[in-house]
Structure 1
Amino acid sequence: MKSKSNFWVILAALTLGLTVSFSSAQAFSESSSLVNNNRKPELVFPVISDVHIDNSSTIDDEKFKAAMNQLNKVAPDQDAFVVVGDLTDYGYETEYDKFFSIYNEKKQDGVNSLFTMGNHDYWNGLSIKDAQTRFLEKTAMESIYYHKKVNGYHFIALSPEDSTTHGLYTVDQINWLKKQLEAAEKDNPGEPIFVFLHQHIKDTVYGSDLWGTQENKELLYDTLKEYPQVITFSGHSHYPLEDPRTIHQKDFTSVGTSSVSYLELEPGKLQGFHPQGYRDISQGMVVEVYNNEVMIKKRDFHKDNWVGDPWVIKYPAKKNKFNYTEDRDHINPVFPTKADASIIEEKSTLRSLTIEFPQATDNLLVHSYQIKAKNLKSGEYDADFKAFSNFYYDPIPKKLEFPINGLQPGTTYEIEIQALDSFGNTSKTKLKTEGTTKALEMVSTQASPTLVTNGESTSIQVKMKNYGSKGVNGKIKIDAPTDWTLVNHEIAYELTGYEEKTLNVKATPSEAISGASEFTVTAYEGEQKIGSKDVQVLVNMMLGQNFDYLQSSLKPAVNEDIPDSILGWTSETPNGWTITNSSHMPAGTIEWQGWSFTTKDFWTKADTQEREDFDLGQGVIAVADPDEWDDNGSPASTGYFDSTLTSPSIKVKGDQNLSLGFASHYKQEGIQTAEVTAVFDNGEKQQVLIYDNKSTSDNGNSHVLNKYEVKSINVPEEASSMKLKWRMYNAKNNWFWAIDDIRLDDQMIVPPN
């Protein structure tokens, strides 16, 4: 694990270029026992959720151990310990075994253990009944929903009864819940009743709008609303504890528990569902019950410290006395006096400006900022978006720095920034500044053709465009590999206002060259460098493909929240290539419905999570991404991702030994499988490579990040042609596979540096 003491300071510095920071919600002292005026609590129990122990990694094992160690330290006398679902990532027997090897070692003697099922605990390929049976056998719970009494207080645990993301709480289970509530009220009138379930109850806590229960939601809510003393605890959304909406009171009290495994956020903000560092955030809580109040203490396991002040719920509970209501805050955020926003000029590009400004403050929490860019020529807003305040980091940075994308080249903009809190209150003051985007672009560089034989030439093509009204001039410099002859190594150009021009340089290889050659093309405006791109040419090979030919086919986003000005994906294939999706594969995010061709910039704007580390992938790359595919409509809840990318037919000779090379960037999770297969015209098939969750596979049940794979293919005697197939299947909301720079030859492929 990363160092807990330094990680967040380093992260803030790397992300924002700053070291000074502040928080509008200061955590209470670690040394403070907060025993509530020296009264000893009558009941103490931690509540955690979404531990997600999985077979392919030990990272979540370590997080779980850290959480247990801290909970034992801050709550040394626990009466119960509750985990509200997603103990495992897939409900595999081995994952349960890992979970309980840690839990049983760390739990306190005599503690009452309570576990509920989550949707991930069903995702093991078993029937619903068999998945529940496994859960009961491994957890030793009496049923998937049950009622216990601990120190005189009533604990009622519910579980979803299917594997869907939003969970099914059946009418039978809810009717059972009604009887248990009646019994608890009769036994202890007015005393707290604790109800535990995995999915949030719809329209209660932060995250319940997207991740709350769907079916029977009204019946479930109406059953609970008769008991204002009820406190529900739910996980599932992974939303952070810092947001004040994580506790909600209307007819009863609802509490979100965050996640031990990783952070997730609501959509529609610049940072996305998973902001930088999201997998390092780990949270949970400790509940202390006194004779007239319940105190809920929030914990950052990644910081080994508390999160803000505890939530306190007074008893006997009265709805008209609830403090944590939806309308409890009407105070606007405020920017510091004389605060200014500014443009970071050195980070300006053709289609973006980068702004910097000081954080606003709020009585509870500055949640996000509304940022607009007004085109001063057209009067239109070319960018209008929200960005999180990074409130989930500790410490919260004092200043923020954000890129404003989707702008027009060579255009002046007025930038406007307004602060928002969690309850929709906005700052009365708006920070404003002006900036101008760059005007000159090296639009594209490519070789035509990209695969040549000795004696043939190729053309290095460079497209330049001036988006401004004023003329510009400069030069293009081409650095060629050894043994290539160029007609020109440097070309001067002039562009009038708004002119676009393609420059061509003829390049011819010597007879000694075989394999891959890389040219570096650098563009200058005057003497100032504006950009540099690499161009690859393959010589004397049987197959060569880097997908860059598809640059002109790239389209703007459809489902992804990426500005229309960024052309970054297509399902169109290179000549002779095909994409085949299984007829049983459900529809998901359009951009990732099977294999897709994209740029790394577009792909990493969809999400990061080490996608950005594919350094061997350049220009246009091929991507199969079940993780992003599942973000639209949750297709993984009803089926599997299964897509195959197939090469054109390649002439071969019987008994020939071939070498296949390609850049590979792959993350393993669950039973997800990826393979390369050679299919010959005589009907034979040969598995060239396989990635899956077995230790004997090419990936050894691990990630394969940024690796150039080289594999051998033995052609059968009767074969005269073959096709190569890259298939990704058995995948739900798992990870991804990206490939690029495919080479096939009858000589050994030498991996690039």
Structure 2
Amino acid sequence: MRLAPLVIAAASVALVSPAVAPAVAQADPATPSAPHVTVPGGRYEHAVDVKFQVARGTTVRYTLDGTTPTRDSRVYSPGRPLRIDKDTNVTAVAFHGNRASVPVSYGYLIKTAEKPLARLVVMSDVHVGGHAANDKKYESFFDTIGSVFPKPDAILLNGDMINDNGDGKGPDHKIVSEIFQANLARKRMTDTQVLISTGNHDDSLAAIRAGYPKAWFPDSGGGYYDSQVNGLHVLTVNTETYNSDTAQRAWLKQRLAAITADRAYAGKPVLVQGHRPATDTVMDGQQASNPRLTEDLSAFPQAVYFSGHSHLNINDERSIQQRDFTSVNDGSMSYVEMDHGYQMVTEKGLADRFESPTAQALFVEVYKDRTEIARVNMAADKHDIYTDGKWSASWQPPYASAGTLSGPTWTVRLKGSTNQQIKDNFTYTKAARNTVAPKFTTRQPLSAVRDAKGGTAVRIAQATDDQMVHHYNVDITDAATGKSLVSSKVLSDYYFMPRPNTLDIPVPGTVARGRYVARVVAVDAYGNASPAASLTFGK
């Protein structure tokens, strides 16, 4: 994957703090400061009562559905706590007169007192190239990790730790090691195992071995190995060579057969990490290149395979898939991608974009009867991935979205005494995919507005869906001539937290006294489409 990091400062707020999140830096002193919370986001084993704190004379409005609060959102009653008793993203904005603060979001994972067998953080595509752009960023990321798992049993680093493209950057692995060791020590996670897989941007296996403690990459020569985390098996495979590596294939099948034949291990997952996706699995196997890995894992429904490489986001429900085994996409710690063929609304208008400077990871808890996989944003503030035409993925903290949830927790249950019974009880299958279409919730979801440059734009009041709206099919034509001015599939900004309530689609080529027709359809990740919304505008 391409990377050319450029450090850009972002005015936002860190979620995690010892007690209360710090205020957002304000460019305009007349703009209200963002609300603070009395209970920081994170993982809790009980319901929490959250209060907002703002300057006198301001009003806090909030949402619990990932959208941006407006003047019509619920008002917070000062001093009265907001009870959070289930997994929730809370977003708040402070209003004072006709001014509003930037929105800040807090993610809460609400669990019971039941203790898991193991807690693991799964991340990939770190893409570190130096200390300057990454030291502060990873301090923020580890603060977020600590808010969810104060003492994780393991961190899986699933490939592409550096940005090597055959250009001799193998020594950069030492920089990654320094950053992670410093933060593990700072957060007192010194007992946390770190287990690394190799990716296509990691130079050689020798460079990885030279860069990290032996315990982090205990391979025997081929880049694959078997580990245990609190008695759970974690198998690391080398997806750069898997298809042609007969020894590795034999090793994986032998280990899986031996582990799953152990009656004492019945019902427990065998966690497998490998950098590249297995063919025809998550997000329909996009950017996958390992058909033989899919073939070999297919005999073992207890296998839960984590993969990165594609940078495809974990907001999308297609990032988990079950057929013969469970496949899970673990997102990216540098920037995420959407499936290709779409456009984004940017400051420069519609652009062919499929990337966002969003960092995400999985927080995995293995219990006796299930595996819970929480999806967490390390940073999901709204930014374009280009600034002044330059690649700018490396946005710097603080982040107003750190620790927010990028989707509901996935729960994997391995129920059954035979392989077929386990497969029959899978829930994240293609056959069980969502069939509910998005819908517009306002009487007139389209309106004509002036954009920041004085041009004409069609504003879409975003539709709702039981999961998420993926994109909009937008067609705008000249009513008199039938000429197409806009024909695009526009992404809905679902990968940001909070999600913008509206999208402004610029309409180039409009003229005074012209008359135009807009037709917009909301579409979810599975292709379910809403009825079209229409608008005729102009003279």
Q: 1:103: how far off?
A: 1.2
Tell me if 1:233 matches 2:278.
no
Structure with larger RCO (C-alpha < 8 A, sep 6+): 2
How has the CA–CA distance of structure 1 residues 8 and 314 changed in structure 2, closer, same or farther, with 3 Å as cutoff? farther
Of 298, 312, 322, 2:411 maps to: 312
Of 144, 148, 159, 1:74 maps to: 148
How has the CA–CA distance of structure 1 residues 152 and 22 changed in structure 2, closer, same or farther, with 3 Å as cutoff? same
Of residues 401-410 and 318-327 in structure 1, the stretch that sits farther from structure 2 once superposed is 401-410
Of 487, 502, 505, 1:402 maps to: 505
Of 15, 26, 40, 2:115 maps to: 40
How has the CA–CA distance of structure 1 residues 433 and 45 changed in structure 2, closer, same or farther, with 3 Å as cutoff? same
Structural mapping, 1:285-684, within 5 Å: 285-302=362-379, 303-307=401-405, 308-316=407-415, 318-326=422-430, 327-345=432-450, 353-379=456-482, 381-405=484-508, 412-428=515-531, 430-435=532-537
Query: Alpha-carbon deviations, 1:613-641, whole Å to 9, x = none?
Result: xxxxxxxxxxxxxxxxxxxxxxxxxxxxx
Report the counterpart of residue 73 of structure 2 in structure 1. none
Q: 1:346: how far off?
A: 6.1
- Higher-Rg structure is 1
Tell me if 1:151 matches 2:230.
yes
Report the counterpart of residue 196 of structure 1 in structure 2. 273
Report the counterpart of residue 223 of structure 1 in structure 2. 296
- RMSD value over aligned CA atoms? 3.2
Q: 1:275: how far off?
A: 6.5
Helix, strand or coil for the counterpart of 1:367?
Answer: strand
How has the CA–CA distance of structure 1 residues 201 and 101 changed in structure 2, closer, same or farther, with 3 Å as cutoff? same
Contact 1:20 1:398 in 2 (8 A): no
How has the CA–CA distance of structure 1 residues 23 and 245 changed in structure 2, closer, same or farther, with 3 Å as cutoff? farther
Structural mapping, 1:700-715, within 5 Å: none
Tell me if 1:50 matches 2:125.
yes
Contact 2:343 2:488 in 1 (8 A): yes
Report the counterpart of residue 335 of structure 2 in structure 1. 262
Q: 1:347: how far off?
A: 6.8
Q: 1:300: how far off?
A: 1.3
CA distance in 2, matches of 1:336, 1:414: 21
Q: 1:121: how far off?
A: 0.8
CA distance in 2, matches of 1:285, 1:9: 32
How has the CA–CA distance of structure 1 residues 357 and 137 changed in structure 2, closer, same or farther, with 3 Å as cutoff? same
CA distance in 2, matches of 1:296, 1:316: 17
Q: 1:70: how far off?
A: 2.0
Give the residue type in structure 2 aligned to 1:398. Answer: N
Q: 1:304: how far off?
A: 2.4
CA distance in 2, matches of 1:9, 1:389: 27
Q: 1:50: how far off?
A: 0.9
Helix, strand or coil for the counterpart of 2:374?
Answer: strand
TM-score computed with the length of structure 1 as normaliser: 0.50
Q: 1:436: how far off?
A: 5.4
Report the counterpart of residue 562 of structure 1 in structure 2. none
Query: Alpha-carbon deviations, 1:252-274, whole Å to 9, x = none?
Result: 21111111112222222122565
Q: 1:96: how far off?
A: 1.2
Helix, strand or coil for the counterpart of 2:311?
Answer: coil
Contact 1:353 1:404 in 2 (8 A): yes
Q: 1:328: how far off?
A: 2.2
Report the counterpart of residue 455 of structure 1 in structure 2. none
Contact 1:415 1:434 in 2 (8 A): yes
Report the counterpart of residue 387 of structure 2 in structure 1. none
Unaligned regions of 5+ residues in structure 2, if any? 1-8, 14-22, 32-59, 68-86, 90-105, 345-350, 380-400, 417-421
Of residues 294-303 and 69-78 in structure 1, the stretch that sits farther from structure 2 once superposed is 69-78
Report the counterpart of residue 198 of structure 2 in structure 1. 117
CA distance in 1, matches of 2:244, 2:225: 13
Q: 1:434: how far off?
A: 2.6
Report the counterpart of residue 248 of structure 1 in structure 2. 321
CA distance in 2, matches of 1:64, 1:360: 35
CA distance in 1, matches of 2:453, 2:190: 60
CA distance in 2, matches of 1:306, 1:251: 31
Q: 1:3: how far off?
A: 4.1
Q: 1:120: how far off?
A: 0.9
Report the counterpart of residue 55 of structure 2 in structure 1. none
TM-score computed with the length of structure 2 as normaliser: 0.68
Contact 2:66 2:499 in 1 (8 A): no
CA distance in 2, matches of 1:399, 1:98: 41
Give the residue type in structure 2 aligned to 1:250. Answer: R
Contact 1:8 1:395 in 2 (8 A): no
